[in-house]
Amino acid sequence: FQAAINGQLRGHLGSPMWAALVSFAVGISAIALALLVQRAPLPTNLSAVPVWQWLGGGLLGASYIVLSIMLPPKLGVALTFGLIVAGQLSMSLLLDHYGLLGFAQHAINPWRALGAALIVAGVVLIRKF
């Protein structure tokens, strides 16, 4: 639904970047309201957060939203999100296998590789048919 709604928003606003900005602004407002309702305390050790963590999640999130607005009209929703899931799963397997970014190590084995291959095969079938 999010891709379809943001795609329609893009049509009204004339730009995927404006649609992404509106999407993020509404999301930020909703999160800020939830924090106020929860009376969540302000974080106390902000200076300890590495710069790459401040920027990484936000830049990746923005890229995801913009691509999920731009690609469905060209590729279709199923292929776009099939590619997203296949990409996320591939990266997840690498993060698990090497224990990157503080995740516990879980080696790639034949069953995990087969699961990933089946998802990629599904994307190929969606693309072909």
70 touches 62 (CB < 8 A): no
| Amino acid 55: pLDDT | 93
The whole-angstrom separation of Cα 67 and Cα 86 is 15
Tell whether the torsion through CA atoms of 18, 63, 7 and 71 is positive or negative.
positive
| Amino acid 118: pLDDT | 96
The residue behind tokens 């296998």 is: 97
CA distances to 95, 104, 108 from 99, rounded to whole Å, are 5, 5, 11
| Amino acid 62: pLDDT | 93
Mean pLDDT, the chain, as a whole number? 95
Q: Is 113 helix (H, G, I), strand (E, B) or coil?
A: helix
| Amino acid 27: pLDDT | 95
65 touches 24 (CB < 8 A): yes
Percent of the chain with pLDDT over 70: 100
pLDDT tens by residue, 14-68: 999 999 999 999 999 999 999 999 999 999 999 999 999 999 999 999 999 999 9
| Amino acid 52: pLDDT | 93
| Amino acid 126: pLDDT | 95
